[in-house]
Amino acid sequence: MTTTESRQAGRKPAQIVDMSWDPITRIIGNLGIYTKIDFANREVVECHSTSSLFRGYSVFMKGKDPRDAGFITSRICGICGDNHTTCSNYAQQMAYGVKPPKLAEHITNLGEAAEYIFDHTIFQDNLVFVDFCEAMVKATNPSVLARAERTDAPRGDVHGYRTIADIMKAFNPFEGEVYKEALKVSRITREMFCLMEGRHVHPSTLYPGGVGTMPQPNTFTDYLSRLMHVIDFIKKAVAMNDDVFDFFYEALPGYEEVGKRRIMLGCWGAFQNPDVVDYRYATMNEWGRAMYVTPGIVVDGKLVTNNLIDINLGLRIMLGSSFYEDWVNEDPFVTHDPLGNPVDMRHPWNQTTVPVPQKRDFEGNYSWVMSPRWYHPETGEHLALDTGGGPLARLWSTALSGLVDTPYVKATGGGIRITLPKGEKLPETTLEWRIPKWSNTLERDRARPYFIAYAAAMALQFLEEAMGMLKSGDTKVYENFEVPDESIGCGFHEAVRGVLSHHLVIRDKKIANYHPYPPTPWNASPRDIYGTPGPYEDAVQGQPIFEENGPDDFKGVDIMRTVRSFDPCLPCGVHMYMGKGKTLTTVHSPTYGANHG
């Protein structure tokens, strides 16, 4: 009997309480999670994900000089702005027909690798792990903490902590050793980023056609010295994560059901291969498959496609329960792609954004987020893909494709093998991420430190190749281009938290239409026109509740773990509403020491 089946047997009369967390504030928008929780049967019976903020970038981009697109779209987000700049440049390079020099690609890859390491570290260790720290577990699951105090950490020889509770204590905000060390790592990795892209988080040296970074020997050696300084922290982080998440499965049987949804993962690929990429649409499948993170759509554990052209043509933007007018009766901007394939009216190239503000109604429209879906040509399904928080989809797609084979990273078909060199204390280490049984909360979180290791390993390769080019005298980092009168382009990349695409239409040398699709619309989308819930909603709805508290002092930690496992930008505060008019407001101080004397 499965865990789900055992939950259905012997059900008690429902005790439903309305609970919501709104806003879970995010840089890219204001996220609210509205639930109905059955406390008698300890499960979430309904969930709606809302966004209360309209941004409108696709509206005011029209008429702009397309060369400014990277600088403008960088401001979409105060966290992953460089991912937007990079993706915008990819789209522009296709539209302009320009290929940057190889060294420029290495510099861009190095900047993005530093961003992945920086952002994943600060999110995992300073935000996600607050939900797994000693203080939180004591407040929500004291019996679990008692067990953690009696449980030896299997990988203590790597990370140095004797028990699982010792690791949890190191996660405590402001005071825990890991929490504080992660802040130091974030400073070092941000310096790595700035060496390549000039400014964090809105790059000053990334342009269509190349980069403005001066390729000098110390540019790369300074980056390398910082990378080697954090390499042991990365090894320890993987070991700590594995110990904690394995423990949760053992201490709370059935915890695999928390945040679990059907495996429907999307990855658009990252780290261009300078020897293959030319940004032409006609060859997009070839250079897409040559990326050092392989694009792909994984459904029910199987790879549906890793062809970027197929991925692009399958994109559908649906309104569903969102606050916009439909555009399907308007004239299309693009009827066919450069290969002659028909382009759907709901493709981002053809989207028109017309906001319609209105009162939130969970029986009708309730969010400013649209509902991106991917049309499966074989089944006719409009799939509500998620990103697995970014790393889970990237690792899963790359593993199944089996194309990445480098000195430091190898896709094995069933997983990813990552080799990190000897650090200041720890020896050379080979890590192996294996495809899990589930797409759930713990596996999304587990994948994150493994992808930090992946990014660090690939950075070593990019450094070696860049320094080799520098020694040979190949220092060109920019290629001139002309903006055409009319053109289209699309860029595919991975923001830290998942799939990112930019879709550009140029007419009369100006932007006629521009639509960026970052991971948040995919993950936070509301129900679509078919009634299909978005990934947040789907993952939370139906999940069991393991928190030991009742309705009066309920903190919702299992729900928050699920939402945060998707990495929905940075949480800086949570307001919790409970039925019958009771409101709890929790304010988190961003400054260390504010509450300490």
Let me know if residue 313 belongs to a domain: yes
The Cα angle at residue 398 between residues 393 and 399, in degrees rounded to 5: 100
Give the model's pLDDT for residue 596. Answer: 41
Residue-wise DSSP of 105-120: HHHHHHHHHHHHHHHH
Spatial contact of 465 and 264, defined as CB atoms under 8 Å apart: no
Q: Residue 187: how many CB atoms within 10 A of its CB?
A: 11
Per-residue pLDDT tens, the chain, 597 aa: give them. 455 555 566 789 999 999 998 877 434 547 889 999 999 999 999 999 998 878 788 888 999 999 999 999 998 887 889 999 999 999 999 999 999 999 999 999 999 999 999 999 999 999 899 999 999 999 999 999 999 999 999 999 999 999 999 999 999 999 999 999 999 999 999 999 999 999 999 999 999 999 999 999 999 999 999 999 999 999 999 999 999 999 999 999 999 999 999 999 999 999 999 999 999 999 999 999 999 999 999 999 999 999 999 999 999 999 999 999 999 999 999 999 999 999 999 999 999 999 999 999 999 999 999 999 999 999 999 999 999 999 999 999 999 999 999 999 999 999 999 999 999 999 999 999 999 999 999 999 999 999 999 999 999 999 999 999 999 999 999 999 999 999 999 999 999 999 999 999 999 999 999 999 999 899 999 999 999 999 999 999 999 999 999 999 999 999 999 999 999 863 333 444 556 666 555 554 444 444 443
Amino acid at 586: T
Spatial contact of 383 and 316, defined as CB atoms under 8 Å apart: no
Residue 211 parent element (H or E): strand 210-211
Spatial contact of 411 and 290, defined as CB atoms under 8 Å apart: no
Provide the Cα torsion 457, 124, 89, 65; round to 10°. Answer: -160
CATH number of the domain residue 160 falls in: 1.10.645.10
| CA separation for the pair 509, 327 (Å, rounded) | 24
Domain containing 547 equals 16-93+101-320+334-573
Let me know if residue 579 belongs to a domain: no
Spatial contact of 103 and 469, defined as CB atoms under 8 Å apart: yes
Let me know if residue 586 belongs to a domain: no
Residues at the annotated binding site? 77, 80, 569, 572, 575
**8-state DSSP, 294:** -
Residues at the annotated binding site for Fe cation? 80, 572
Closest CA to 11 of 544, 373, 454: 544
Q: Residue 359: how many CB atoms within 10 A of its CB?
A: 8
Total number of domains constituting the chain: 1
Our separate counts of H helices and E strands in the chain read 18, 19
Q: In the numeric block, which tokens belong to residue 568?
A: 């929905």
Residues at the annotated binding site for Ni(2+)? 77, 80, 569
Give the model's pLDDT for residue 581. Answer: 62
Give the model's pLDDT for residue 570. Answer: 39
Let me know if residue 511 belongs to a domain: yes
Let me know if residue 134 belongs to a domain: yes
Residue-wise DSSP of 458-522: HHHHHHHHHHHHHHHT----B------SEEEEEEEEEETTEEEEEEEEEETTEEEEEEEE-HHHH
pTM for this prediction: 0.95
Give the model's pLDDT for residue 597. Answer: 38
Residues at the annotated binding site for Mg(2+)? 575
Let me know if residue 9 belongs to a domain: no
Closest CA to 263 of 344, 384, 381: 384
Provide the Cα torsion 232, 235, 237, 242; round to 10°. Answer: -160
Residue-wise DSSP of 351-399: ----B------TTS--BS--EEEEE-TTT--EE--B-TTTHHHHHHHHH
Q: Residue 481: how many CB atoms within 10 A of its CB?
A: 18
Let me know if residue 1 belongs to a domain: no
Residue 551's DSSP bridge partners are: none
Let me know if residue 395 belongs to a domain: yes
